[in-house]
Structure 1
Amino acid sequence: MRTGEPLPAVGDVLAALATGMWHWDTATGLVSVDAEAARLLGLPAEEATLREAQVRARLHPVDWNEITGVVQLAVAEGTLAEVRIRIMDERNRFVRVVRSRSKPTFDARKKAYKLIGTLQEVAEPTPGSPAGRRAVTGDWRRSREAFLLDAGRALAEARSTAKVLRVAAGLSMPGFSPDGLAVFGMQGDRLTIIGHHGQRPGDEGPFVHMALETDYPAAEVVRTGRAVYLSSPGRYKSRYPLTWPLAERFHRHSWAFLPLTVAGRTMGAWMAAFTHPVAFTPDERSVLTTVARMLAQALSRAGTAETERELSEGLQRAMMPTVGPGVPGMDVAARYVPTGGGLQIGGDWYDMIPLPGATSRSRTSAGPGRFALVMGDVQGHDVRAAGLMGQLRIALRAYASEGHCPDAVLSRASRFLHGVLAAGADGEDAEDTDGVADLRFATCLYAEVDPRTGVLEVARAGHPDPVIRMADGTVLQRPTAGGLPLGIDPDSDYPITRFTLEPGETMMICTDGLIETGGHDLDTGWQRIRTILERHGGDAEELADALVQAVHGPSSHHTTGPLADRREDDIAVLLLSRRRDGRAVRPRLRHTLMTVAQAEPERVSVARRQLRELLHDWSSEEHVDTAVLLLSETLANVLLHTDVDALVLAEVSGERGERRLRVQVTDAGDDLPHKRRPGELASSGRGLVLIELLADAWGVLPRGQGKSIWFELYEASVAR
């Protein structure tokens, strides 16, 4: 071409280079191609305007699906969109590979893309060469997809920031793995280093607390939300001359700085550094961008989980007993295990409250060193349940510290919770997302303990009864009077049950999570817990660990690390043991004591159950049935023929195989029972006849006020 002659048309130049031009508008769905582009697509070599479907029919379906992602990435980064495309004929047979380069723009109003670009045929590379692995066969695509699947799975399973960083450091990207990385966060207007890999400890010093306005790639990425790719040291030095000396000493050849974005907000930046030159082709940028997005999501999840764990630990530490060095003559142990899902805290709690030395009301348990044990469970496993639990716990502490009796403490607590819930019902949080009223209540057991005498005064609000492990290892549920759960009726009454914890005995109180977790109901769960209590011979601390481990694995005492399996409900358990004097062996006496009132005939069934539990290891089940029958007849005699209450005392003494059961039913009535001879159709009068026939011994003991009917069964008589 001679000087002064006009330049040839762009189209002529491109045609001479076997390069076609095309224009694609996604708003209209039309693609305009010149003659060369049409030829490369396998169409007649002439200018044409085609529908998207016509063009799509000539492209490999996998490549067509990839074009959208490449275009979106190019728009986000303000770069060219480059992609290799396999051209197919009308019979879906491979024809050639072309390379498409285009400059896309996005119309936010129309939500559409416009692309102007070129098509150029790419020679098929030699099989086995690096280019061959990236070409027609698609092996490089499959490697990339496999890598992204593995990386996504590993990052999704990382539950802490440290684990996320370890996973990121171990990523082996197909063909261009970085040998160094750094994750930057933000604190105010400065960068922070969340973690790094491939550098020596201390190398991060110059980059810590760097101002966001600094001429540094990571700072620019955080400011703008756009990635920065530096393919050579020269490019780094020319673009960031001020901070190049900081990067020069690491002797890297290429760098990629990508934004860590979650929900449209840039939370930091990720640097991937390479000791070998990297061109950062569109494919490589696509992989890096995808990894950055997954890394950002993983860091966000890990940060949320760590915040929840920190909150859980703080709440749990607040729930630990706060009394001082120990209780003279007694041991106390407690455990709390949160549920496995979401915020690891719920409505379960326990507490130990020191009480005033004297009260305005004289009670047998009054004395120095008294304290109260509290176990409670607010309905629900959410933040509101935890908040209500905290308020209720503080209220109970206040009422107890004022010196109120157990019944008064629970009555006041119920009125307090009812007021809190009523006030909440007027607020926006009183309804859930479905518009259903948020009805809450709390169960609670409050036990006032005198460590000097072992006397306990228990008031119960809808909570499971306490359990007593006797000195010989026998385990019994201890029936106690109770009222409605707290918060339901502000005028509820909570009667007091008084009993004595003998030396060598242990009382367990717990929430229903300990009993019912693992698919158990109250009956089967209770049998499981009972077996653990009977077989374990350690102290209170060891027994508490054994209970939790048997249900869910390692205890979370003093920590709230997640357990191995999911929990269906929170667990709280509290043990109170009264020490024996000296090194006395377990006594050969076990007993149970309870009252059956005229107004509570349903407690006859409770007494029968207590007797069965007392005889759980008796050598003959038929003998146990006999004892339960005789107890029922004895109690029926009091309830039917007097107008007073009955006191039941059952004792087992002696060595196994030679034991004696003595059951004594005492009442305040003056009339002594008389044996009658009922007719065949009589509905009563057989009680004493049965006792005489089935008992090994029996009798009636007149007392100053009232009488006692007793009977005995001997374990050895079963063999006779």
Structure 2
Amino acid sequence: MGGGRGEPAPEPNDDAELRQIEALNRLDTRLGEEGTPEREPVRPRTAPPGGEQAEGGGEPQRETAGVARTDQPPAPAGGEGPAAGSATASRRRDALLIEAGNDLVDADTLDDALRCLTALYAPDFTLDGQVVFGIDGDFLTAEGAYGFRAGSASDRSFRMPMTTGYPAVEVVRTGRPVFLSTPEEYRRRFPVTFPLAVRKDRRSWAFLPLVTAGRVSGVWLAAFRTPVDFTADERALLTVTSRLVARALERTRTGEAELALSRGLRSSMGRAGPQVAGMTVATRYVPTGGGLVVGGDWFDSIELPNGRLALVIGDVQGHDVHAAGLMTQLRTAVHAYAAEGHGPDAVLARASRFLAVLDEDRFATCIYMEADPHTGLLQVARAGHPHPVLRLPDGTCMIKHVRGGLPLGMIPGAKEYDDYPVSTVELHDGEILMLCTDGLIETGGHDMYSGWVRVRDAMAPGPGDDLEGMAERLIRAVTGPAAEEEAPPSTDLRRDYRPRNEDDIAMLLVRRDAGFLPPDLHRRRLVLTIEQDRAEALAEARTELRSMLHDWTRPDQVDTAVLLTSELLGNVLVHTDQAAALTATVTGDVGRRSLRVEVTDRGDELPHQRTPGELASSGRGLVLLDLLSHQWGVRPESEGKTVWFALFEATPAPSAE
């Protein structure tokens, strides 16, 4: 029933209608960038009594999920009739569309988005079924559906060749929507695929392109059980809705891709890397609440060529998938520099330059630590990262302050700032050192002080021999149910809108195991420096080495060790103008000992293995190492290089043949 001509618009009679009107008046703000035409401000409408025919005919008005309705008395007679009713219906549909757009912003999946559209569409224009088709090469696929039973085009397993006479295929080919008002029109235009539609008990269909970045990325099917004429107003409404669906589809695809990427990165990081005898390592990683399973935080443990263990923890700025990608690149670079044998300071300096060269306008904090399980000595370099925490066997915890430099990548191209001093920390039997990112300290609104107190209270109790249990206690203290209740009072307002896990958490615990070295273990060490102006020191080095190996059970290996050491020292004196530093170490029980000899110089050029001729006077050093030693290698240092070899007393010498 139309309202009286010239009568003022009735006042709104419920809060739901006021919200719809307010939403429609924000239409240009939410959808203006999509090209939606401007609309005049909406005035309140008068709804027909429940159960009566809607203006302009059609089915009786009925209650619909997500739409608040109240019965009102009919408007005075003598109004504008169908024209006024059409304008009111159009405005009401726009209001519902904006309500749908608001809900779509919070939809996590494509199915959730389709459910929102079904619930919020106008009762006189009921959307009874939807399918979102994607494009997979030469096939049309179903990516999401709502309102259809299993079977046919709504199945996720649906795949249709692009050569098929199907409405959605035509939309992909032409980029134009297809509107089918009746089954007869469907049968006439698409006879081959009409049986797919007739089994679904629908009377009208609309197939609209989903456009992303200027190209058709999919098709949205809207199906109706009651006949629809698809007037210009209805087509415009469906077109705007298809844009919302396209956005939802793009967000879903992006989210799924980011989740798959983050899962791959997380699995590559693993739970813990290699461990060495004498030290136990436990690690934990907890991502932020942003939906990804990995962010910019990472940890790593690396077995070094010298038998030591490198422990790394770092934090790339940001919590998004881009931070996760940068984290992976930086983690790989640090791992590579460590495997080459660089010291802690050199690893961080090179990593800083690597991150700066990427030109990503992000920095990272990091701690790199080289642990010697035999002595318990830790060589630690820090780049803007929180200090380690030391736990003594009696449960006492303290922050272990170590010197540090700037975060990695902070000042691109400025090598003078790549200075990362190395601190030495001695870890005694049963002591535990914890490395963590700031998420473990600050999550829940804590500052560095209150967060440290929380970490101390979780780390101190209980025995230190259960490292995994200690790691679990620390994570529960930060992310468990009690963490929210124990947040500082000053952060109550922030807790109203911030998630409990505001930042990623990476944590690494390392303990020096008690009683690792057996009482009868023999350890000898020889350290000499041979200067360029003291060539006679070569003879002294050979004598000292033979003395250290006086009880070696294989005399032939003693001769081999002296020969190889002389070759390495001679190469430094002949081919560089630097001094040669000799370090020889014997470890193990008699009869099963190992000898490791290292010769270090400050020359930048790395040696290369060659094939010298019979009359050549040089080029045999690496050939001899390869033939006569059990293990050998070359590693760059922060300044210069080290060439090393190893012999094992229980293993026969390699054959030179």
User: In the alignment, is residue 304 of structure 1 matched against residue 254 of structure 2?
Assistant: yes
CA contact (8 A) 1:392 1:413 kept: no
User: In the alignment, is residue 373 of structure 1 matched against residue 300 of structure 2?
Assistant: no
Instruction: Quickly say closer, same or farther: Cα 1:243–1:503, change in 2 above 3 A.
Output: same
Instruction: Quickly say closer, same or farther: Cα 1:374–1:490, change in 2 above 3 A.
Output: farther
The correspondence for 1:468, drawn from 376, 383, 390, is 390
CA contact (8 A) 2:131 2:146 kept: yes
CA contact (8 A) 1:228 1:257 kept: yes
SS of structure 2 residue aligned to 1:465: coil
1:595-614 equivalence runs, <5 A: none
The correspondence for 1:531, drawn from 457, 475, 478, is 457
1:271-670 equivalence runs, <5 A: 271-320=221-270, 323-324=273-274, 331-338=280-287, 347-356=296-305, 358=307, 370-379=308-317, 389-404=327-342, 409-417=343-351, 419-420=353-354, 423=357, 441-451=363-373, 454-486=376-408, 489=415, 494-502=420-428, 504-534=430-460, 539-552=466-479, 565=499, 569-578=503-512
CA distance in 1, matches of 2:156, 2:439: 52
Name the aligned partner's letter for residue 474 of structure 1.
Answer: T
SS of structure 2 residue aligned to 1:210: strand
The correspondence for 1:246, drawn from 196, 216, 231, is 196
Give CA-to-partner distance per residue, 1:290-309, whole Å, 9 cap, x none.
33221211111121122222
Give CA-to-partner distance per residue, 1:110-158, whole Å, 9 cap, x none.
x9x9xxxxxxxxxx99993223789649764565345323322322111
Give CA-to-partner distance per residue, 1:612-632, whole Å, 9 cap, x none.
xxxxxxxxxxxxxxxxxxxxx
How far apart are 1:476 and its partner, in Å? 0.9
SS of structure 1 residue aligned to 2:265: helix
CA distance in 1, matches of 2:332, 2:54: 70
CA distance in 1, matches of 2:398, 2:186: 77
Instruction: Quickly say closer, same or farther: Cα 1:322–1:211, change in 2 above 3 A.
Output: same
CA distance in 1, matches of 2:327, 2:51: 69
Q: TM-score, normalised by structure 1?
A: 0.51
The correspondence for 1:129, drawn from 48, 53, 56, is 53
Name the aligned partner's letter for residue 241 of structure 2.
Answer: V
SS of structure 2 residue aligned to 1:479: coil
CA contact (8 A) 2:392 2:431 kept: yes
CA distance in 1, matches of 2:180, 2:9: 43
Alignment-derived partner of residue 677 in structure 1: none
CA distance in 2, matches of 1:529, 1:182: 51
CA contact (8 A) 1:260 1:266 kept: yes
SS of structure 2 residue aligned to 1:130: coil
Give CA-to-partner distance per residue, 1:147-188, whole Å, 9 cap, x none.
323322322111233433454565554234343322111122
SS of structure 2 residue aligned to 1:316: helix
CA distance in 1, matches of 2:50, 2:406: 83
Instruction: Quickly say closer, same or farther: Cα 1:477–1:188, change in 2 above 3 A.
Output: same
Instruction: Quickly say closer, same or farther: Cα 1:286–1:418, change in 2 above 3 A.
Output: closer
Give CA-to-partner distance per residue, 1:325-344, whole Å, 9 cap, x none.
x6656543323345566988
CA distance in 2, matches of 1:577, 1:212: 62
CA distance in 2, matches of 1:280, 1:316: 49
CA contact (8 A) 2:348 2:381 kept: no
Instruction: Quickly say closer, same or farther: Cα 1:383–1:155, change in 2 above 3 A.
Output: closer
Alignment-derived partner of residue 201 in structure 1: 150
- Gapped regions of structure 1 (runs ≥ 5): 1-83, 93-110, 114-123, 359-369, 425-436, 555-562, 582-720
CA contact (8 A) 1:143 1:174 kept: no
How far apart are 1:316 and its partner, in Å? 2.8
Instruction: Quickly say closer, same or farther: Cα 1:542–1:255, change in 2 above 3 A.
Output: farther
CA contact (8 A) 1:308 1:344 kept: no
CA contact (8 A) 1:413 1:486 kept: no
Instruction: Quickly say closer, same or farther: Cα 1:493–1:284, change in 2 above 3 A.
Output: closer
How far apart are 1:386 and its partner, in Å? 5.2
CA contact (8 A) 1:466 1:477 kept: yes
The correspondence for 1:225, drawn from 152, 175, 180, is 175
- Gapped regions of structure 2 (runs ≥ 5): 11-34, 38-47, 58-82, 482-496, 516-657
CA distance in 2, matches of 1:319, 1:552: 21
CA contact (8 A) 1:321 1:351 kept: no
Alignment-derived partner of residue 616 in structure 2: none
CA contact (8 A) 2:97 2:120 kept: no
Tell me whether 374-383 or 390-399 shows the greater mean CA deviation. 374-383
State how many pairs are aligned: 435
Give CA-to-partner distance per residue, 1:373-422, whole Å, 9 cap, x none.
11123456677765554444333323322344xxxx23322442454466
Alignment-derived partner of residue 98 in structure 2: 149
CA distance in 2, matches of 1:485, 1:163: 42
CA contact (8 A) 1:411 1:490 kept: no
CA contact (8 A) 1:373 1:447 kept: yes
Name the aligned partner's letter for residue 434 of structure 2.
Answer: M
Instruction: Quickly say closer, same or farther: Cα 1:449–1:414, change in 2 above 3 A.
Output: closer
Alignment-derived partner of residue 602 in structure 2: none
How far apart are 1:352 and its partner, in Å? 0.9
SS of structure 1 residue aligned to 2:460: helix
Give CA-to-partner distance per residue, 1:535-562, whole Å, 9 cap, x none.
57794444434444544569xxxxxxxx
Alignment-derived partner of residue 183 in structure 1: 132
Give CA-to-partner distance per residue, 1:684-717, whole Å, 9 cap, x none.
xxxxxxxxxxxxxxxxxxxxxxxxxxxxxxxxxx
CA contact (8 A) 1:260 1:293 kept: yes
CA contact (8 A) 2:355 2:408 kept: no
SS of structure 1 residue aligned to 2:123: coil
Give CA-to-partner distance per residue, 1:639-678, whole Å, 9 cap, x none.
xxxxxxxxxxxxxxxxxxxxxxxxxxxxxxxxxxxxxxxx
How far apart are 1:462 and its partner, in Å? 3.4
Instruction: Quickly say closer, same or farther: Cα 1:445–1:210, change in 2 above 3 A.
Output: same
SS of structure 2 residue aligned to 1:131: coil
Question: RMSD across aligned C-alpha pairs, in angstroms?
Answer: 4.4
Alignment-derived partner of residue 69 in structure 1: none
Give CA-to-partner distance per residue, 1:491-521, whole Å, 9 cap, x none.
8555544444455543211123332444443
Instruction: Quickly say closer, same or farther: Cα 1:317–1:245, change in 2 above 3 A.
Output: same
How far apart are 1:240 and its partner, in Å? 1.2
CA distance in 2, matches of 1:90, 1:495: 80
The correspondence for 1:161, drawn from 110, 118, 131, is 110
Alignment-derived partner of residue 103 in structure 1: none
CA distance in 2, matches of 1:218, 1:237: 15
Q: TM-score, normalised by structure 2?
A: 0.56
How far apart are 1:466 and its partner, in Å? 0.9
User: What fraction of aligned residue pairs are identical, expressed as a percent?
Assistant: 49
1:23-34 equivalence runs, <5 A: none
CA distance in 2, matches of 1:287, 1:564: 36
How far apart are 1:575 and its partner, in Å? 1.9
